[in-house]
């Protein structure tokens, strides 16, 4: 991150923490400048007017939502900007919702109101939450089962960078692949939000070897978190085999396409391959049907008989589907409790690449280094 950007991020961070502390002290936050829009029951939000480039995003006034039964109303302090948001902007996801829409799947902030029959939270609580769209707004309402209290020493911007990256990484490593002492893991996009969460969680288990691919310019920044780093364009199959002839125990693949076959070929007996993304379909500012078709064409056709003969496991993982379509919020709540314990024990820490104001929406570019988060 450029020095200018880092200084700006520090300044902005201090600003949100100051504002957040003030509102928490005021309970419902009444009287602070960020409530001016609330008085007229309007709020600012980032609106995606149609699928496409950055020019499709703009800050707009919207009617402020009020909590329905079982929901919490959150005065947002910071939101996560994840790769999935970029894919949503381009319409590069399965069954995209209709535009105009407010993007964003996670945020942190202060509880401003409780819907009927909500228990376990109070007005003024500092929280982080998953939202099924609509997180990039000043105020968000979301069902209580998607909301988690923020540890005292976690900042709002850290909290906005926490749920998506760490739950995804934890679920894949421990729930799907059963990571244990002495195992090895290959992760693509190791410098990204999920990649860095994977690296940190692997370091909580003794003697885990992490192989990672990332653009070379990120290697200096992430070299301490990944045991063996390769350039994303290198022949990583050969590189991994040179270091570990038998391959690895777990492959985490967010580059659906030719990497699926390569990943499966790298698995040790009883190893697990997990597909969890298709970043490689994003090749420019807007959706490319050519890269979509290319990825689809290159996906390895998996033969179950071969899996049986070779003792290999293949899996898929989608956190958003698990949460919002398959009703597993209870499971995710248990995972968040474990992750918060690891955070309190100082074993993991969310990384924030940079902070951006809502008004700077037109300048939000693909993350220069790790991943990008923004604040209002």
Ligand X SMILES: NC(=O)c1ccc[n+]([C@@H]2O[C@H](COP(=O)([O-])OP(=O)(O)OC[C@H]3O[C@@H](n4cnc5c(N)ncnc54)[C@H](OP(=O)(O)O)[C@@H]3O)[C@@H](O)[C@H]2O)c1
Is residue 295 at the binding interface for ligand X, with CB under 6 A as the rule? no
Is residue 364 at the binding interface for ligand X, with CB under 6 A as the rule? no
Among 164, 336, 340, 355, binds ligand X (CB under 6 A): 164
**232 Cβ contact list (under 8 Å, min separation 6):** 188, 189, 213, 214, 215
Among 103, 104, 191, 350, binds ligand X (CB under 6 A): 191
- Token digits of residue 66: 């009020």
**65 Cβ contact list (under 8 Å, min separation 6):** 73, 134, 139, 140, 141
Is residue 318 at the binding interface for ligand X, with CB under 6 A as the rule? yes
Is residue 350 at the binding interface for ligand X, with CB under 6 A as the rule? no
User: Following DSSP, what letter does each residue of 232-268 receive, concatenated?
Assistant: TTS-HHHHHHHH-TT-EEEEEE-BTTHHHHHHHHTEE
CB of 12 to ligand X, least distance (A): 19
Residues in the chain, how many?
Answer: 376
CB of 318 to ligand X, least distance (A): 4
Is residue 211 at the binding interface for ligand X, with CB under 6 A as the rule? no
Q: What is the Cα 118 distance to its own chain's centre?
A: 26
Is residue 84 at the binding interface for ligand X, with CB under 6 A as the rule? yes
Residue 99, Cβ neighbours under 10 Å: how many?
A: 16
Binding segment (CB under 6 A) for ligand X, from list 30-38, 80-88, 201-209, 240-248: 80-88
Among 136, 230, 236, 276, binds ligand X (CB under 6 A): 276
Contact 304, 267 (CB under 8 A): no
Is residue 193 at the binding interface for ligand X, with CB under 6 A as the rule? yes
The helix/strand/coil state of 55 is helix
CA distances from 313 to 19, 212, 264, 321 (A): 48, 20, 9, 21
Is residue 146 at the binding interface for ligand X, with CB under 6 A as the rule? no
Binding segment (CB under 6 A) for ligand X, from list 32-40, 52-60, 176-184, 275-283: 275-283
Contact 132, 85 (CB under 8 A): no
Contact 45, 137 (CB under 8 A): yes
CB of 114 to ligand X, least distance (A): 29
CB nearer ligand X, residue 141 or residue 194: 194
Binding segment (CB under 6 A) for ligand X, from list 61-69, 114-122, 277-285, 330-338: 277-285
Is residue 212 at the binding interface for ligand X, with CB under 6 A as the rule? no
Say how far apart CA 196 and CA 285 lie, in whole Å: 25
Say how far apart CA 312 and CA 330 lie, in whole Å: 29
Is residue 200 at the binding interface for ligand X, with CB under 6 A as the rule? no
Is residue 219 at the binding interface for ligand X, with CB under 6 A as the rule? no
Question: Residue 278: in which H helix or E strand, if any?
Answer: none
Pairing of strands 184-187, 248-253: parallel
The dihedral over CA atoms of 362, 366, 367, 372, expressed in degrees to the nearest 10, equals 50
Is residue 215 at the binding interface for ligand X, with CB under 6 A as the rule? yes
Binding segment (CB under 6 A) for ligand X, from list 32-40, 152-160, 192-200, 239-247: 192-200
Binding segment (CB under 6 A) for ligand X, from list 109-117, 146-154, 236-244, 316-324: 316-324
The helix/strand/coil state of 116 is coil
Judged by CB under 6 A, the number of residues near ligand X is 28
Among 12, 82, 92, 157, binds ligand X (CB under 6 A): 82
Is residue 282 at the binding interface for ligand X, with CB under 6 A as the rule? yes
Residues that bind ligand X (CB under 6 A): 82-84, 164, 168, 189, 191-195, 214-215, 218, 232, 254-255, 276-277, 279-280, 282-283, 317-319, 367, 371
């Amino acid at each position: 991150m450029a020095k200018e950007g880092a200084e700006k991020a520090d300044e902005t961070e201090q600003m949100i923490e100051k504002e957040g502390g003030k509102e928490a002290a005021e309970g419902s936050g009444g009287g602070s400048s960020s409530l001016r829009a609330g008085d007229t029951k309007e709020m600012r939000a980032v609106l995606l007017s149609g699928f496409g480039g950055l020019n499709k995003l703009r800050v707009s006034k919207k009617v402020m939502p009020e909590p329905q039964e079982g929901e919490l109303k959150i005065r947002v302090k910071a939101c996560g900007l994840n790769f999935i948001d970029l894919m949503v902007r381009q319409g590069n996801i399965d069954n995209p919702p209709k535009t105009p829409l407010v993007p964003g799947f996670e945020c942190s902030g202060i509880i401003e109101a409780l819907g009927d029959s909500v228990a376990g939270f109070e007005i003024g609580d500092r929280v982080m939450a998953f939202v099924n769209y609509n997180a990039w707004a000043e105020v968000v309402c979301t069902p209580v089962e998607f909301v988690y209290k923020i540890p005292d020493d976690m900042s709002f911007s850290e909290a906005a960078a926490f749920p998506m990256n760490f739950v995804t990484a934890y679920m894949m490593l421990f729930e799907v692949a059963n990571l244990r002492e002495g195992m090895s893991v290959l992760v693509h996009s190791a410098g990204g939000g999920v990649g860095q969460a994977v690296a940190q969680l692997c370091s909580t288990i003794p003697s885990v070897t992490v192989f990672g691919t990332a653009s070379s310019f990120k290697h200096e920044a992430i070299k301490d978190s990944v045991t063996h780093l390769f350039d994303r364009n290198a022949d990583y199959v050969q590189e991994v085999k040179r270091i570990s002839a038998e391959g690895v125990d777990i492959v985490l693949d967010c580059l659906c396409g030719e990497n699926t076959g390569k990943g499966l070929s790298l698995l040790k007996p009883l190893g697990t391959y997990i597909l969890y993304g298709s970043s490689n379909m994003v090749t420019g500012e807007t959706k490319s049907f050519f890269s979509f078709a290319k990825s689809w064409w290159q996906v390895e056709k998996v033969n179950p008989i071969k899996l049986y003969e070779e003792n290999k496991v293949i899996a898929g993982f989608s956190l958003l589907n698990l949460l919002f379509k398959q009703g597993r919020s209870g499971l995710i709540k248990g995972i968040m409790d474990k992750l918060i314990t690891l955070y309190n024990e100082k074993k993991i820490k969310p990384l924030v690449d940079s902070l951006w104001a809502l008004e700077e929406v037109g300048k939000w570019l693909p993350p220069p280094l790790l991943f990008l988060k923004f604040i209002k």
